[in-house]
Structure 1
Amino acid sequence: MMEMNWTRRKFMKLVGFAGVFACVSSCRSESQESAKFCRYGGWLAMRRKATGFFRTEQVDGVWWFIDPDGHLFISKGVNHVSFGGDHCPALGYSPYNRNVQAKYGSEEKWAEATVKRLREWGFNTIGAWSSRSLFKLMPYTVILNMGARAGADWLKGSFPDVFSPKFRQVLDEIAARECAPRKNDPLLVGYFTDNELRWGPDWRSPRHLLDDYLLLLPADAPGKKALLDFLRKRYQTVEAFNKAWGLNVPNWDELANLKDLPLAPSGEVEKQRLADRLDFLRIIAREYFRACHEAIRKHDPNHLILGVRFAGYAPLPVVEAMGEFVDVVSFNWYGFEPPTKTLEDLHRITSKPVMITEFSFKAMDSGLPNTKGAGKPVPTQKDRADNFERYVTALMKLPYCVGYHWFQWSDQPAQGRFDGENSNYGLVKETDEAWELLTQRMKEVNGRVEEIHAGR
């Protein structure tokens, strides 16, 4: 007791009464904060029916995830929480991985420390492309890359033949491998089917998917056959097709041999060609989402299908086709404000809740080039923190939004990762040191988003 009193007196003398008060207040604040959330990170203030798995529900006009224990849940996630970090081709290794190998000695210890930090900063979900070692420690999502594994290429923008039996076979193999073993896991929030597929003209290609399907090989490829069947059914005769498209194709067989169907410069022909392209896009999208849904549900009837992570745009025909096959619509957006009108349309058309699955802010005071990667850089770390608070606060005022996932855990190498990106997206540096100003603001904001979302 005497030793304890001496220690207390020494502590009081060193820090003063103000320091003691601050310390006690901080401890009380942290205790109160942790008391707001359950073991899954759900909000203890409100509870619905517990099913043992994550689900979605509209409560008093506001959409939420519901965690396995029945608590209202906003998915506050971080992408690419990876022990491996970003491999740098110029260096031949991942700087982040080298640093954490030396710091922690094992991936298991890294995972425990990382989840502790994420919880301290108010996050409750492991986002896409993250290490499996984290999945037993915190609610998590899985990105299945179904289209990507069946022939899509994110960088080039190529799209798979969704009408091919091979496509269905690949999806079933993916679901059997990734979904079946997880079907009873309460920590799994759900599955993303893909990331940023190209649904039409964008930065990767000016072409529509109808044009791509015309070029499919071999000549009897199921996707090309589906396209020709679509055009035959719509126009009945090749003469009617030629009139509508402003072409002079002698017969349907010759149409299959065309190398291109260019847009007309203007007028009714251009409108008709665009209408056909969009209507065929709707058919492609419906087949894609239906095939993904059926493969996942065959092997896992319990978990959510979280959408396809649109790359900042979502063509109307695709959105119209997806509603019955997903539980949540996911959208990536690197603007300084949430794309409120787009998110509202996504929700209205599909009748499903939405979430932002990539957003971030990078600062020039980080020492990184920030010349490659989405989003415009801001001057300082304070600007990153300010923009995070502004973005998330606005997002959580939308009654149909159920979460947000930051991109990404660690900074990218200055020399560039596989696609050249070299930006200050991280919550931590390559050394695993936190960007303190940002993470402390995230802690403050993440701790109050449920009240904002509930309109309190």
Structure 2
Amino acid sequence: MRYLSSIFFLIPIFLLACSQSIKKNEPLFVESRKDNKDTVWAKYEVKTVDRLLSISIEKEPAISVYGGWKDWKKDATGFFRTEKVDDRWWIIDPDGYPYIHRAVVAFNPGKSEKQKEVFDKKYGSIAHWADTESKMLKDYGFNGTGAWTNVDAVRDMDQPLVYTIIVSPMGAYKKDHLKKFGGKYEEAGWQGYRFDLAMVFDKEFDKYVKEAIEPIAKYKDDKYLLGYFTDNELPWVFDALDRHLLKLGEKEQGHITAKKWLRERKGKDISVNEITDADRAAFTAFYFDTYMQKVTHALRQADPNHMYLGCRFNQDKNKQELTNPEIFKVAGKYMDIVSINHYRKWEPDQECLNKWGEWADKPFLITEWYTKAEDSGLPNNTGAGWLVHTQHDRGLFYQNFTIGLLQNKNCVGWHWFKYMDNDPDDLTTDPSNRDSNKGVVDRYFNPYTPLLDQMKEVNVQTYHLIKYFDKK
């Protein structure tokens, strides 16, 4: 009888285990819209750590002080670098351990009047905020910060997060360039660049490169610095040659340089109608190379120890940079890691990821991406991220996207955009970020725990997941 009782006691446990196993075998879907203009909610499948049936949830791996994986070791140089090991790209941390950078962008407290009031009550000082919030991020498996971070606050911590710095020479020059030419022309770029052109050929730009980059010398000995970005989402349009010749005045330096380049390529003057796509592709390489030469020369002079993380590519339409092999070939000559702000995809396109690695022969870092949820109470009208119902759904999106990144041997990390929701009442913020749910904390510093719980599952298993994928 006692034997039968034991059997009857075990049956529910067995059935529960079976039902859980069946559930994990079933596809999991999240309802989403690409943006608020899309009126139809559609179901998208997501991959999660617990649904990778061949992997058991392992205990968190031993990590270095920087967040590197103490599974194997390469040469320790005292600074972050990259190395390709067994056909997979890695960041190597200052102690020589393999490392994947998992960061949040804009690690900064909000600046609206209400946010300042909450900040003062909750933290009292920037140092206490940085210590408290960096511990929170580490508890959820993050090991770094992305662009537009309060670098001084991070550096003052006893155990800093691995941080990045962004400098914006072209962004600064754009303002003065538009003061000179703005209003005279009807067209303006989506980032405010005149005719969607970065004015790399202007001699005046060189002064801005020097002014923006020289000050970074003070960071050159900091082991917690991953590297530098220059500018953000510059317009590397495929028809840049046509625009230089047709849009710019004949006495402008960009027009003169483009005309000279085309004459030397063709051996004679030709009309714009005779320009081929091969000419356009070659000019994008020359055009982008000019920018790269100027900024990397200045970076290496000011700080020879740290990596150049690129200029945060973004556009993939009409043969722009993310689909232009010539741009990536140039990037590979100068960048240590290619930075990409990756929007408009539910999950990474492995074919694209492979092409980026092949074209540049360098690893890439996803430096902006996010999704936003209805339950945040925000209107979610602005921004490029997908829209889902809940914070839990945001977390599932995170798992699905990062698992796709980890499958690819060219990826060395990702930066979630961003740390904190903006206050919609603060009209000094960038309009593209103002009213949408992008943060891991809300506008009053309250963490989105259902989101962070799902993020942690991937973050703490990152190195085990890589081992799993590389054995398949």
Distance of aligned partners of 1:55 and 1:141 in 2 relative to their CA distance in 1, 3 Å threshold: same
1:75-114 counterparts in 2 under 5 A?
75-83=101-109, 85=110, 93=112, 95-114=114-133
Match of 1:381 in 2: 391
* Secondary structure of the corresponding residue to residue 167 of structure 1: helix
For the 8 Å contact 1:210–1:280, the answer to whether it is kept is no
Shift of 1:95: 4.3
User: Is 1:356 aligned with 2:366?
Assistant: yes
**Separation of aligned partners in 1, 2:245 and 2:291:** 14
Distance of aligned partners of 1:285 and 1:396 in 2 relative to their CA distance in 1, 3 Å threshold: same
Picking from 54, 67, 79, the partner of 2:80 is 54
Percent identical among aligned pairs is 34
Shift of 1:382: 1.6
Picking from 432, 436, 441, the partner of 1:428 is 441
Structure 1: state its 5+ residue gaps.
1-31, 88-92, 202-206, 247-268
- Counterpart residue type for residue 278 of structure 1: A
- Counterpart residue type for residue 165 of structure 1: K
Q: Which moved more, 1:430-439 or 1:313-322?
A: 313-322
For the 8 Å contact 2:357–2:363, the answer to whether it is kept is yes
Cα deviation code 1:395-431 (max 9, x no counterpart):
1111111001100001123356322431111100111
Shift of 1:160: 3.4
* Secondary structure of the corresponding residue to residue 82 of structure 2: strand
User: Is 1:332 aligned with 2:341?
Assistant: yes
Picking from 165, 171, 178, the partner of 1:148 is 171
1:1-400 counterparts in 2 under 5 A?
33=60, 36-83=62-109, 85=110, 93=112, 95-132=114-151, 133-136=153-156, 137-151=160-174, 155-158=191-194, 159-178=197-216, 180-200=217-237, 208=240, 210-212=242-244, 214-216=246-248, 219-238=250-269, 241-242=270-271, 245-246=272-273, 272-313=275-316, 314=321, 315-334=324-343, 335-400=345-410
* Secondary structure of the corresponding residue to residue 331 of structure 1: strand
- Counterpart residue type for residue 141 of structure 1: T
Cα deviation code 1:211-263 (max 9, x no counterpart):
1465445x53332221110122234444xx13xx44xxxxxxxxxxxxxxxxx
TM-score when normalising by structure 1: 0.79
- Counterpart residue type for residue 290 of structure 1: Q
Shift of 1:278: 2.9
**Separation of aligned partners in 2, 1:439 and 1:209:** 46
For the 8 Å contact 1:413–1:423, the answer to whether it is kept is no
**Separation of aligned partners in 2, 1:357 and 1:291:** 22
- Counterpart residue type for residue 75 of structure 1: H
- Counterpart residue type for residue 283 of structure 1: F
Shift of 1:167: 2.0
For the 8 Å contact 2:198–2:235, the answer to whether it is kept is no
Shift of 1:292: 1.2
Shift of 1:78: 0.4
**Separation of aligned partners in 1, 2:245 and 2:127:** 46
Distance of aligned partners of 1:284 and 1:124 in 2 relative to their CA distance in 1, 3 Å threshold: same
Match of 2:40 in 1: none
**Separation of aligned partners in 2, 1:290 and 1:213:** 23
**Separation of aligned partners in 2, 1:193 and 1:418:** 19
**Separation of aligned partners in 2, 1:358 and 1:306:** 13
Q: Which moved more, 1:368-377 or 1:127-136?
A: 127-136
For the 8 Å contact 1:43–1:72, the answer to whether it is kept is yes
**Separation of aligned partners in 1, 2:101 and 2:266:** 47
For the 8 Å contact 2:210–2:298, the answer to whether it is kept is yes
- Counterpart residue type for residue 329 of structure 2: E
- Counterpart residue type for residue 131 of structure 1: N
For the 8 Å contact 2:170–2:208, the answer to whether it is kept is no
Match of 1:449 in 2: 462
- Counterpart residue type for residue 405 of structure 1: H
Match of 2:21 in 1: none
- Counterpart residue type for residue 99 of structure 2: F
User: Is 1:419 aligned with 2:437?
Assistant: no
Structure 2: state its 5+ residue gaps.
1-58, 176-188
**Separation of aligned partners in 1, 2:113 and 2:236:** 32
Shift of 1:46: 1.8
- Counterpart residue type for residue 211 of structure 1: R
Shift of 1:139: 0.9
**Separation of aligned partners in 2, 1:130 and 1:339:** 29
For the 8 Å contact 2:392–2:454, the answer to whether it is kept is no
For the 8 Å contact 2:103–2:144, the answer to whether it is kept is yes
Q: Which moved more, 1:414-423 or 1:110-119?
A: 414-423
Shift of 1:326: 0.5
* Secondary structure of the corresponding residue to residue 257 of structure 2: helix
- Counterpart residue type for residue 191 of structure 2: L
Shift of 1:200: 1.4
**Separation of aligned partners in 1, 2:227 and 2:461:** 24
For the 8 Å contact 1:361–1:387, the answer to whether it is kept is yes
- Counterpart residue type for residue 115 of structure 1: S
For the 8 Å contact 1:148–1:154, the answer to whether it is kept is no
* Secondary structure of the corresponding residue to residue 191 of structure 1: strand
User: Is 1:440 aligned with 2:466?
Assistant: no
